[in-house]
Amino acid sequence: MKSFFSYLFVFASVFLAVSEAKAERLGDLTDVIGARENQLIGYGVVTGLNGSGDDIRSRIAEQTLRSMLRRLGIQVDEKRLRLRNVAAVIVTANIAAFSRSGSKLDVTVSSIGNARSLAGGVLLQTPLRGADSQVYAVGQGPLIVGGFNVRGRSGSAFQENITTTARVPGGALVEREIPTQLVRKGSSEGEDSTIAYSLRSPDFVTAQRIALAINQAMNEARAVADDAGAVSLRLPSDFQENPVPLLARLAEVEVTPNQPARVVVNERTGTIVAGGDVRMAPVAIAQGGISVSIYEQSDISQPNPFTRNSGRTVVRPRSDLSIEERESEFRYLDGAATLSDVAAALSALGVTPRELSSILQALRAAGALRAEVVVQ
C-alpha cells in the first residue's frame, strides 16, 4: 500500500506540475453565455421484452399501453390484459444549443417499474419536455443495454452490469428549437453590443488572463473581467449583428489558467491528489494508531452421555478482544517549496492513505500546509 500510494502521489505531482505551465484554448476554458444545453424529460413505454417487463404488481405500464391503444382506435378489455413484455420508463436527454429542427439527440431510458431487464426492447414514441412543459423533441427506437440478466427455471440467476437502464443513440428528433441569444444589445443608442464568457472553473487570476489575451488578440482593449466567473467583450462594429466569425477566431486564443493550491482527499477509495502551487512549512509530525481485533468463536457444550431428558446441547459464543497501539515518534519535515517536494516528504512518513488524509487536514489546521484540503 505504501509503495502504491507513493507512486500515485508522485505521478499526480509530476503530471499536474507539467500541465500547470501548459496553455489551453479559450474555447476549452469558457462557454459563451446564452449558448447552453437544456435538459429534457419524458414518460414512455418500452415493448418487445422477452418476459422481463413489469408484472401485474406494477399497473402503470398496463394503464399507459391501454390508453395509447385507445388513442390508436383499438379497444381492449383491461381484465384480459396480462403483459410481461412491456415496461414503463423515464426518458431523458440533453438538447444542445443551436440544435435545429430535425437534429438527432441521444436519449437515456430507465425503468420505473419492476422490470428485470430492458434488453431487446423498443421505445415507443415519447414526447420530451423542457422545464417550461413544452415539447422540444420526440424519442423512439430500439434500446441498447450494456449488460444481460439470465435466469433459470430453478431460480438461479446471473447478471452483468445494469439491465434496467439503456440508451437509444440518435433516438430523439428535435421538433422545436430553443431560442438562443448571444449578443446583449447596448442600453443606449450608439453603445456597443456585448457578449460574455462564462468560466468553467471560476478564478480571478484566470479571468484577468483571459481578458488580457483577448485584448492582445484584438489589438485593442475591449474585454474586461467582470468577476471570477465572467468576462465581457464589447463587439466591434463589424460583428454587431453576427459575432460568429469573431467567436471562432477567439476560441483558438491560448490562455494559461491559474491552478489553485488544492489537495483532494477521497476517504472512501483512499485516493489523494494534489495540484497547483502546494507548499509546506517546516513541521514536526507524530502519527500513532490503535488496532482493535475481535475474534468470534463458538463453544459447544454437550450433556453427559447416558443422560435422559436432563440436558441439551448449547452453543455459547465467545469473543477474544486484543488491542495493539503502534509506537510513534516525532518526525521533522524540513518544509517543501514545490509540489514534488511535498509528495516526497509525505511519502517518507510511511503511512496509509487514510492516515495521511488525517495528517493533511491537521497540517492545514496548523497552518503548515499552504493549500486547500477538500474531503470527498
Is the pLDDT reported for residue 8 higher than 50?
no
CB contact burial 115-139 (16+ within 10 A = b; e otherwise): bbbbbebebbebbbebeeeeebbbb
- Cβ-proximal residues to 256 (8 Å cutoff; 6+ apart), any chain: 21, 22, 23, 24, 209
Please provide the distance, in angstroms rounded to a whole number, between the alpha carbons at the two ends of the chain: 20
Q: What is the per-residue pLDDT for 13?
A: 45
Q: What is the mean pLDDT of residues 55-65?
A: 73
Q: What is the per-residue pLDDT for 105?
A: 94
Q: Copy the grid coordinates of residue 2.
A: 505504501
Q: What is the per-residue pLDDT for 325?
A: 62
Q: What is the mean pLDDT of residues 96-106?
A: 91
Q: What is the per-residue pLDDT for 284?
A: 78
CB neighbour class for 278 (10 Å; exposed up to 12, middle 13-18, buried from 19): buried
Q: What is the per-residue pLDDT for 116?
A: 85
Q: What is the per-residue pLDDT for 3?
A: 44
Q: What is the pLDDT of residues 180-192, one digit of tens each?
A: 888 888 777 767 8
Q: Copy the grid coordinates of residue 19.
A: 500541465
Distances (CA, A) of 46 to 94, 149, 164, 166: 20, 17, 11, 11
Phi, psi of 206 (to 5 degrees): -65, -40
Q: What is the per-residue pLDDT for 296?
A: 65
Q: What is the per-residue pLDDT for 230?
A: 93
Lowest mean pLDDT segment, chosen from 154-158, 268-272, 372-376: 154-158
Is the pLDDT reported for residue 17 higher than 50?
no
Compare 92 and 358 and report the one with higher pLDDT: 92
293: enclosing H helix or E strand: strand 289-301
Q: From the DSSP assignment, how many helices (H) and strands (E) are in the chain?
A: 7, 23
Q: What is the per-residue pLDDT for 11?
A: 39
Q: What is the per-residue pLDDT for 73?
A: 80
Q: What is the pLDDT of residues 316-339, one digit of tens each?
A: 777 676 666 666 666 777 777 677
State the pLDDT confidence band at 154, using cuts at 50, 70 and 90: low
Q: What is the pLDDT of residues 293-317, one digit of tens each?
A: 666 677 777 777 666 666 677 777 7
Q: What is the per-residue pLDDT for 157?
A: 63
Q: Is the model's pTM score more than 0.85?
A: no
Work out the number of other CB atoms within 10 angstroms of the CB of residue 291.
Answer: 9
Report d(CA 345, CA 334) in Å as an integer.
8
Q: What is the per-residue pLDDT for 7?
A: 38
Bridge-based pairing of strands 262-266 and 372-375 is parallel
State the pLDDT confidence band at 18, using cuts at 50, 70 and 90: very low
Query: Any idea which residue has 509546506 for its cell?
Result: 280
Lowest mean pLDDT segment, chosen from 80-94, 97-111, 276-290: 276-290
Q: What is the per-residue pLDDT for 152?
A: 57
Nearest one of 200, 188, 210 to 254, comparing CA atoms: 210
Q: What is the per-residue pLDDT for 190?
A: 66
353-366 helix and 339-347 helix, angle to the nearest 10 degrees: 120
State the pLDDT confidence band at 2, using cuts at 50, 70 and 90: very low
Q: What is the pLDDT of residues 185-243, one digit of tens each?
A: 877 776 788 899 999 989 999 999 999 999 999 998 899 999 999 999 999 888 888 88
Q: What is the per-residue pLDDT for 142?
A: 94
Is the pLDDT reported for residue 159 higher than 70?
no
Report d(CA 319, CA 298) in Å as an integer.
8
Phi, psi of 16 (to 5 degrees): -75, -30
Q: For the chain, what is the mean pLDDT?
A: 80
